[in-house]
Homo-oligomer: A and B are copies of this chain.
Amino acid sequence: VDEGQLKILLLERDFEPAKGQLSLIGGFVQDQESLDAAAYRILYHLTGLREIFLEQLHTFGEADRDPGDRVISVAYFALLKIQELDPDHVRDHGAYWCPVSSIPPLIFDHNRMVEVALRRLRIQAKVRPIGLKLLPEEFTLPQIQELFEAIYQRKLDDRNFRKKILQLEILEKLNRKDKRSSKKGAFLYRFNEEKYANYLKNGDRFEMLTIDVL
């Protein structure tokens, strides 16, 4: 997320087929490599990052999805903190961040993959604190709110939002402020693993946010 917009990393293909067209990041699984390992390797190659939220998304296996060979793609779903990527490194690999609100046509069924991923994000972000994987380590409440507004394309009420988020008791309040976006400054918070473990244990409720999807 960046500038209040959810963004996705697209790649200009520098090889055939479909050279020059846009696609998602991808690659081939090696002989003695698990799918997960392959996904991490490919992502590391492009981003230079190791600690990344990555989960399997869906496997796309229509017989004619790739006009050339028969290819089955096991799609993965990664959440990156945009600030952690070296912009030059990204550009050198022919990649760029594209707002999800205006994704151009991509090769093969990659637009479909994006749809599935967005849908997954919107469902999961309600239920697990994965949204925070898109923010810096330290963030302000207005930032989280902006994040959720970007994910759900919807304005949220500040008072209710803060109440709900704080009530989860999974964040740790720091006594420093981020003054970049206002004179008053907003307190910084950090996700706290132990508190979250506790949250999962006690109560075991569901729903971080109550937002209708779709």
Would A61 and B32 be within 8 Å (CB), given that A205-B212, A206-B212 are in contact?
no
Q: Is A167 among interface residues, defined by CB-CB distance under 8 A?
A: no
- Among B31, B70, B210, B214, contact of A70 (Cβ-Cβ < 8 Å): B31
Q: Is A92 among interface residues, defined by CB-CB distance under 8 A?
A: no
Q: Is A36 among interface residues, defined by CB-CB distance under 8 A?
A: yes
Would A74 and B59 be within 8 Å (CB), given that A212-B204, A214-B204 are in contact?
yes
Chain B: minimal CB distance from A161 (Å) = 18
Besides A34-B63, A59-B59, 17 other CB < 8 A contacts?
A29-B61, A29-B72, A31-B63, A31-B70, A32-B63, A32-B70, A33-B63, A34-B61, A35-B61, A35-B62, A37-B63, A56-B58, A56-B59, A72-B74, A206-B210, A206-B212, A206-B213
